[in-house]
């Protein structure tokens, strides 16, 4: 049988919808995964085997099983495909009927005991699910805080594979739990411009830079306060708009950083001068990671 489940692949800071097509057919027992999966995606077979066995969920492994991660030309990285793959395989096996499969996005890494582990990039995936008009999304319970930034999409935190199965077995999806309100941007209360004494010209320049979004260069001897002043720029900038907050949070989520803290105040990044081009810009041998 053929079954299709939906998940997403994050490229840079954007998520692309991925259809996991699972097919179980009679024939020489073999498990094949296609669609440019990287090593961690291919390793999902071992995780799924152990998780199903430890949860006591029967599955016919002695068949010809193929999993295609479509679009086949898009490279798939990471472990977030485990949940979608496991559920797709169970549906393709024929024993379980999951009416909601194919209508919701499934995200999560499987532990060997069947529990779900958090993954990075959940926020861009949820944004993609919403723009694709999906009925909802199942995410690892630890990632549920990113749900607050995606109103309008029912998001279900699940802690185990069994919970996910129970949820998807319903003919209709139950109401999603309320994720809570978006934390209000406090504009950065930690450090204050009042701590800088004197330096009237530099303070004025900082204010002008903040008001118009201008770039700024401080020239002066060590210890004159250049770093102190620079660190206080985010505090005098206007708070992130809602659109900017979601955008910033999505970038942090894709980079594996907590998305919630990203929206509390304007980002301030201060790379050391020994940073390489890759460390500054992103990219490198693995997926193009945001830096």
Partner 1 sequence: MSLAHNGVLFLDELAEFRRATLDTLRQPLEDGHVTVARHRGVCRMPARFQLVGALNPCPCGRTGLPKARCACTPGQVRAYLGRVSGPLLDRIDLHVPVPAATFDEMSGPSGEATAVVRSRVARARRRQAARAEPGNSRCSNALLPMSRIRSQTRLGPECERLLRQAVDRLSLSARSLDRVLRVARTISDLSD
Instruction: Find the binding residues for partner 1 in span 19-38 (CB under 8 A).
Output: 36
Least distance (Å) between residue 82 CB and partner 1: 23
Using CB under 8 A, which of the segments 62-70, 84-92, 117-125, 263-271 binds partner 1?
A: 263-271
Subset of residues 29 to 88 that bind partner 1, contact rule: CB under 8 A: 36, 75
Using CB under 8 A, which of the segments 85-93, 143-151, 160-168, 264-272 binds partner 1?
A: 264-272
Distance, C-alpha 185 to centroid of its chain: 21
Subset of residues 196 to 255 that bind partner 1, contact rule: CB under 8 A: 196-199, 201-203, 205-227, 229-238, 240-241, 243-244, 247-248, 251-252, 255
Least distance (Å) between residue 40 CB and partner 1: 17
* Nearer to partner 1 among residue 62 and residue 186 (C-beta): 186
Task: Report if residue 118 touches partner 1, rule: CB under 8 A.
Answer: no
Cα 127 to Cα 11, 15, 75, 209, 261: the distances in Å are 14, 8, 20, 32, 18
Strand 14-25 with 64-70, pairing: antiparallel
Least distance (Å) between residue 254 CB and partner 1: 8
Q: How many CA atoms lie within 13 A of 278 on its CB side?
A: 7
Could you give the CA distance from residue 55 to residue 89 in angstroms, rounded to a whole number?
A: 15
Beta strands in 116-182 (DSSP E): 116-117, 136-140, 155-158
When binding is defined by CB under 8 A, the residue of 32, 175, 192, 261 that contacts partner 1 is 192
Alpha helices in 44-181 (DSSP H): 44-54, 82-93, 122-131, 161-169
């Amino acid at each position: 049988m053929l079954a299709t489940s939906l998940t997403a692949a994050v490229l840079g800071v954007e998520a692309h919808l991925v259809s996991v097509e699972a097919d179980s057919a009679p024939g020489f027992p073999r498990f094949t995964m296609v669609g440019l999966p990287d090593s961690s995606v291919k390793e999902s077979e071992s995780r799924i085997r152990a998780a199903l066995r430890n949860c006591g969920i029967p599955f016919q492994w002695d068949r010809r099983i193929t999993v295609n991660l479509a679009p086949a030309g898009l490279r798939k990285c990471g472990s977030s495909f485990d949940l979608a793959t496991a559920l797709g395989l169970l549906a393709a096996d024929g024993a379980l009927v999951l009416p909601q499969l194919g209508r919701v996005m499934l995200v999560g890494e499987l532990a060997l005991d069947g529990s779900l582990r958090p993954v990075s990039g959940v926020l861009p995936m949820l944004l993609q699910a919403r723009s694709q008009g999906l009925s909802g999304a199942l995410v690892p319970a630890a990632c549920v805080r990113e749900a607050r930034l995606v109103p309008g999409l029912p998001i279900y935190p699940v802690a185990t594979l069994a919970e996910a199965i129970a949820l998807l077995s319903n003919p209709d999806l139950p109401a999603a739990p309320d994720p809570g309100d978006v934390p209000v941007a406090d504009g950065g209360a930690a450090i204050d411009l009042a701590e800088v004494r004197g330096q009237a010209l530099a303070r004025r320049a900082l204010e002008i830079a903040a008001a118009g979004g201008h770039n700024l260069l401080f020239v002066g001897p060590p210890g004159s306060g250049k770093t102190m002043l620079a660190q206080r720029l985010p505090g005098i900038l206007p708070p992130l708009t809602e659109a900017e907050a979601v955008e910033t949070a999505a970038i942090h989520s894709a980079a594996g950083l907590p998305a919630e803290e990203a929206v509390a105040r304007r980002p301030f990044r201060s790379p050391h001068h020994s940073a390489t081009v890759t460390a500054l810009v992103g990219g490198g041998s693995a997926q193009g990671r945001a830096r």
